[in-house]
Amino acid sequence: MRIVSLLPSATETLFALGLGEQLVAVTHECDYPPEAAALPVVTRSTFDFAAKSSQEIEDAVALAARDGASLYEVDTAVIRELRPDLVVAQDVCRVCAVPASQVMDDLSPIPVLRQHPHTFDEVLRDIEGLASACQTDASSLMSSLRERVAAAAEKALARRRVRGVFLEWLDPPYPAGHWTPDILSLAGIDDPLARPGTPSSAVTWSDVAAVRPEVLVLAPCGWGLERARQEAAAVADRVDAVGATRVLWCSPSLKMTAGVS
């Protein structure tokens, strides 16, 4: 089978399923596992996000949404030349990754698998759905993931639950949305600002401080740990004003099961 992945988490999952050799192209953001970086790239960002601050990115995304502009360019001609049996994309967020709707018409009749989880259970079901579409058995991987989550949740039950806030963007602050609140709950964190199963929306730093969190988790969408630290430093006065006793940084992926731990 020949597979094109337009979603970094799907790329990671395909390798975890032992299907890395069936991947024929990925996105410019697919950097894990390291083998993914050697594959042909069929996308690019239309904005130089690396050179912009969080607030500048927020403004650029809002402008693009108003004008109906895409944040990504996809080389559908190259994808067609690669003759894939399956293309994997998502329709949860037009900002975080290439939206399936952007490529479906141009790639027709190539099958496009749309990943669209909103809860943690749906994330796991989408992994099974991807395996099924690729005609492979996911039982071993799923057992491993579920066992790790169950062990972490059991460990959390033995401890005092803590009040915390998870931010997936810092300027302006966006609290946890979609599946992240499920993960926080499993890990023993009660987040009053979280929006389970729905998209996140901006709040103010005053809203964050009003919660009086013991733990503040900073996980700017799309950034690794080093960039997350840089973004936190840019709003250090507001982070300090929240008064959390612990401030953590993290980055998202299939490794979210490790995040529960």
Q: Which domains can be identified in the chain, with CATH numbers?
A: 3-116 (3.40.50.1980), 160-260 (3.40.50.1980)
d(CA 232, CA 247): 10
DSSP state of 3: E
> What mean pLDDT is predicted for residues 20-29?
97
- Greatest Cα-to-Cα distance within the chain, rounded to the nearest angstrom: 56
pLDDT interval class at 207 (50, 70, 90): very high
- What's the pLDDT score for residue 68? 83
d(CA 111, CA 58): 33
d(CA 220, CA 225): 9
- What's the pLDDT score for residue 250? 60
d(CA 23, CA 84): 9
Helices 139-157 & 120-133 angle (0-180, nearest 10): 170
pLDDT interval class at 258 (50, 70, 90): low
pLDDT tens sequence across 35-78:
999 999 999 998 887 878 888 889 988 888 888 888 999 999 99
Letter for the amino acid at 71? Answer: L
- What's the pLDDT score for residue 259? 54
Whole-model pTM: value is: 0.89
d(CA 178, CA 79): 30
